[in-house]
Structures are given as C-alpha cells and as structure tokens.
Amino acid sequence: MPVNIGKRIAELRTAKGMSQQTLADQLFVSRDLVSKWENGVRHPDFEKIKEMAGIFEISADSIVNKESLFLDELSDCFPKSALISEDEMAGILNDFLHRQSKIRSDVFIKRYYFQKSIAEISSEYGIGENHVRSILSKARRKLKTFVEEGHL
C-alpha cells in the first residue's frame, strides 16, 4: 500500500503553524516543490525527510519509514492486484536489471537495494542529482513496461 507521505507532511506543517513557503525556505527548496510533495506529485528523498524531522522536532520514522519510501517509489511498476512473493519479485528485478545499461542498473541497485539518497548516488557517480532522478524515472517506466509485457 503506497505511503501517503504528502498528507503527513501537510499535517505536520499545519500543526506547526507553518506555510508551505516557510517550510520551503527552511529546506532550501521551492514552495512549488513542497506543494508537489503534499499533493503526491513528487516524493522527498530521505535526506529531506530527515531535515523535515528536525524542523518538526520528531523522528524521521514518524514521517515515513525509510523502506516504505523506497517501496512507494516502485509501487506503480507492479499491478495493484498482483500477489508476488519476495522470490518472484527478486527474479523479475534481476531479469529486468540484466537487460539494462550498466549505469541504469547500478543506479537502480544503489537506490532500491542499498537505499542510498539521490545526493549520495549523484556524488558517487559524479553526475547531477537531476540526472540521477532522470535515470531512476526512466528505469521505473521501463520496469513497469517490462512487467506489463508479461514478465510477471
């Protein structure tokens, strides 16, 4: 079940009496990005979650469980009705990753297996954070297509 992190962020921000702009200023992001998080259009990475936790004076896990955040990113890649065991999921992912370029496969593994932040992956590969986001977005779209084409 996907995590409703946006709703949680909005609740915490409102409880602190903060505007989206105030939260955005404290996180050094745009108000538009905070709005996208709250509306579920985008999801903050775990580093931003930790920063928000500090601002809201709570633990990061009180906002979202780290593993749930990563699983939520992949949730659209698989049919909601599919009951897949962990072994089947691992097989599908391994088959999919073996068909991808080395960089796409490596970035995917760093993000979803080792649970590295976008910033950490960016630094490790010497590429911009937007490039990492683009690689992951394309990989998720390809995974969704891979699953829809009968690899499930």
pLDDT on residue 14? 96
pLDDT on residue 43? 81
Count of helices and strands (H, E) across the chain = 9, 0
CATH fold of 78-151: Arc Repressor Mutant, subunit A (1.10.10)
Angstrom distance (rounded) from CA 121 to CA 140:
16
Tell me, yes or no, if the two domains 5-64 and 78-151 fold the same way.
no
Handedness of CA 52, 22, 45, 126 (dihedral sign): negative
pLDDT on residue 3? 54
Angstrom distance (rounded) from CA 124 to CA 103:
12
Token pair, residue 57, equals: 């004076």
Per-residue pLDDT 10s for the chain (152 aa) are 345 889 999 999 999 999 999 999 999 999 999 999 999 888 888 889 999 999 999 998 888 877 777 777 787 788 877 777 778 888 889 999 999 999 999 999 999 888 888 899 999 999 999 999 999 999 999 999 999 888 66
Cα-flanking dihedrals φ and ψ of residue 103, to 5°?
-65, -45
pLDDT on residue 10? 96
CB 5 within 8 A of CB 67: no
pLDDT on residue 79? 80
The architecture that CATH gives domain 5-64 is Orthogonal Bundle (1.10)
pLDDT on residue 152? 61
Domain ranges in the chain are 5-64, 78-151
